[in-house]
Amino acid sequence: MRREVRIARRADEVWSLVGDPGRIAEWFPGIVSATVEGDTRTVVTAAGLPMPEQIVTHDPLQRRFQYRLKIPTLREHLSTLDVFDLGDGTSLVSYGADADPATMALVIAGAAGAALHHLRDIMEGAG
Amino acid sequence: MGRKILLVTTDQQRYDTLGCNGGALARTPVVDRLAGQGIRYERAIPQSVVCMPSRSTILTGQHPSTHGVWMNGVPLPADAPSFAELLRGAGYRTALIGKSHFEPFVDPFSRFPDNALPAAGTTPPGGSHRGFEHMEMATHGAQGQLHYARWLRAEHPEAVAMYYPTVDAELQVNAAGGGDTGAPQVQVNPVRREWYHTDWVADRTIAWIDGLDADADWFCWMSFPDPHHPWDPPQAEMARIDWRDVPLPPGFIDSRAKREAVLDAKPRHWRMWYDGSLVSNFEAPARWVPATLTADQVREVNARNAVECELIDEALGRVLTTVAARGWDDDLDVIFTTDHGELQGDFGLLFKGPYHVDGLMRLPLIWRPAPSSGTAPAVVHSPVGLVDLAPTVCAIAGLDAPEWMEGQSLPLADGQGPERVLTEWDSELFGVDVHLRTITRDGWVCTVYRPGTVHDSTEGELYDLSDDPLQQVNLWHDPQRRAWRDELVADLEEHQPSPRRPRLEVEAPV
């Protein structure tokens, strides 16, 4: 499952927020806190659910962030966040989720899609 | 003071489960009495045969293309129009008690207001949500974050595990079987009746009504989660009906060869689902193969479904007694309906999906106007839609229907209703997409199939409801009906609502 949004801000500006794994609660509705220790990030959802994640990729040059959720309902998961420079002062932010069972990919990507829209509002509103 | 309004919806209830509609299995004296006092609609049709789009149509008075909830998992935008908001603006007290489902249930992030509210109480932030100032919500069991599940976990934790888990550990619709026959989504549930969600919905409705001022005008949407699967009513109530005595429904074709021949004459996804080679949606267990359904499983499902319908009828009776005790019965309008139907054995199938036939499309609809209005009882045979409910409620409250509503107030007699009723299906799930558009008009049902994963737009369905009430003879390719088919298709296309742009995204499976 993939969701994407175009944002009228430069890629480095967008990356400065989404590339900081500890700041996800600022742009992802439904996540109320995030703590990062080494390659482990633990987010807590608004439902009170703690979700430990393994950070797989954190590449400021490619502006790519990848992580795996480590919860019992998931046999496998990989989410990939990319920020692409469109060369005109705007950027494309893409969020892909692969998961087994696939239903969870829809749940994760669905929430991420709404988060991307919120991210755009934040970034463009900060103008 | 104005008329009080009680909108009663059930979930996934067939037309033929009410005594007043000819049903012989469930005893439904309360609804039957309302029908005798009011207007019984013989052909009420949903604009979608799944929950979220259909419920959004009821609330907005718009077709799914217009409100944008094109399949389950697409949340109705928070700022979508709502007849309840109009009522509230006119001074009505407003409540929604039971199943809402305008927003996805599967929500580990608690992003949606319906899922976030129960932790905080029953009054939405800002005073209302979608026009409802009081919300107490429930769904089909003890899973999830809604008020009923929280109440059950807090007050009767021993009952939580008694319920059938609607979805399994992988968030798939559960295919596990139970009961005496191993039918899917069936479980023996030892829960006490007074803890079951049907009685809880009635109890909470009664409490809200009891708290209203004597001079209040009020609207309550009382929304029962049953008789939607799982079929796990309180086991003590199952003594009412022995499933072994339940006759097979007319739509169940006992001969396997004949059943499969009927399916083969329909668009190909019918047979593909039956055989287990295509799962097109999240509305039925993906791991369950309909061809394995036995006659006894149909009997047991129908028995359990009938008991659930009886419990709803009795719960409604308790609420009406409360209204009468408050002295409001003469000024009370009651509308009883459901969001869509259930195949329940027709064609050897259960559950629902992209199948626009009577099992899913012919709904119970009763409107008992306030006795003080002097409205004469009637039976309306011409088609009406759930899209007509919102303007009807406005009319009861003395409000003009706004332009954004696409239906019209329900007719009080034949000849006053809409000329045609439209129904839509769109689904895109894990690489399989299906798109149907249906028109019901002049005693015919005609469905076109737009290009999708297994359809190329050459297939369709055409049924003559007078000659073929079970829709077992597809006339789509009948040369004798070609001109009439083309006329219906042209009419269907001409009256399609403009789709909302941009299209809303699917955010969860359901």
Tell me the shortest Cα–Cα distance from A123 to chain B, in angstroms: 20
B180 has a chain A CB within 8 A of its CB: no
Tell whether B508 lies on the interface with A, counting CB pairs under 8 A.
Answer: yes
The sign of the CA dihedral B168, B170, B173, B178 is: negative
Span B18-50, pLDDT tens digits: 999 999 999 999 999 999 999 999 999 999 999
- The pLDDT confidence band at residue B478, using thresholds 50, 70 and 90, is very high
pLDDT in tens, A40-92: 999 999 988 899 999 999 999 999 999 999 998 899 999 999 999 999 999 99
Q: Is A50 helix (H, G, I), strand (E, B) or coil?
A: strand
User: Hey, is the C-beta of B428 within 8 angstroms of any chain A C-beta?
Assistant: no
Task: Give which of B135, B344, B384 is closest to B227, Cα–Cα.
Answer: B344
Contacts of A50 in chain B (CB under 8 A): none
pLDDT digits (tens, 9 = 90+) for A81-122: 999 999 999 999 999 999 999 889 999 999 999 999 999 999
Q: Do B171 and A73 touch (CB under 8 A)?
A: yes
Which residue of chain A has the CA closest to B117?
Answer: A47
Q: Which two tokens stand for residue B21?
A: 């509609």
The average pLDDT across B235-251 equals 98
CA distance B191 to chain A (A): 27
Cβ–Cβ < 8 Å for A121, A38? no
The stretch B471-496 carries a mean pLDDT of 98
What average pLDDT does the segment B254-267 reach?
A: 98
When computed from its CA atoms, the radius of gyration of chain A, rounded to whole angstroms, is 14
Q: Is the pLDDT of residue A127 over 50?
A: no
- Contact between chains at B109 and A102 (C-beta distance less than 8 A): no
> Cβ of A107 and B108 within 8 Å?
yes
Q: Residue B443: what residue type?
A: G
A73 shares contact with chain B (CB less than 8 Å): yes
Mean per-residue pLDDT, B12-16: 98
The pLDDT value given to residue B169:
79
Note the pLDDT of residue B430.
82
Q: Which residues contact B63 (CB under 8 A, 6 or more apart)?
A: B47, B57, B387, B406, B422, B424, B497
Each residue of B218-241: pLDDT tens digit?
A: 999 999 999 999 999 999 999 999
B172 to chain A: which residues are within 8 Å by CB? 101, 103
Token representation of residue B222: 């009382």
Q: Which domains, ranges and CATH numbers included, belong to chain B? A: 4-494 (3.40.720.10)
- Tokens at B254, concatenated: 């006992």
**Whether A71 contacts chain B with CB within 8 A:** no
Q: Answer whether B172 sits within 8 Å of A46, measured CB to CB.
A: no
pLDDT of residue A126: 52
Closest of B278, B293, B448, B280 to residue B356, by C-alpha: B448
Task: Give CA–CA dist B496/B498, Å, rounded.
Answer: 6
Q: Which ranges in A5-101 belong to alpha helices (H)?
A: 11-18
CA neighbor of A60 nearest in space, from A93, A83, A90, A36: A83
Q: In a mutagenesis test of the A interface, which of B72, B109, B170 is the best target, namely the one with the most A β-carbons within 10 Å?
A: B109
Residue B250 has a pLDDT of 97
Q: Which of B450, B495, B451, B449 is nearest to B474 (CA)?
A: B449
- B116 interaction partners in chain A (CB closer than 8 Å): 46
Q: Does B73 touch chain A (CB under 8 A)?
A: yes
For residue B170, is pLDDT > 80?
no
Taking CA–CA distances from A44, the nearest residue in chain B reads: B109
Whether residue A31 lies within 8 A of chain B, CB to CB, comes out as: yes
What backbone phi and psi angles, to 5 degrees, belong to B183?
Answer: -65, 145
Domains for chain A: give ranges and CATH numbers: 2-125 (3.30.530.20)
Of B110, B430, B506, the CB nearest to A110: B506
Q: Do B506 and A106 touch (CB under 8 A)?
A: yes
Nearest chain B Cα distance for residue A72, angstroms: 9
Average pLDDT over residues B392-407: 98
Kindly list the residues from chain B whose CB atom is less than 8 angstroms away from the CB atom of residue A111.
Answer: 108-109, 111, 507
Alpha-carbon distance of B289 to B350, in angstroms, equals: 10
User: Which member of B73, B171, B507 has the closest CB to residue A101?
Assistant: B171
Distance from CA of A61 to the nearest CA of B (A): 30
Report the mean per-residue pLDDT for chain B: 97
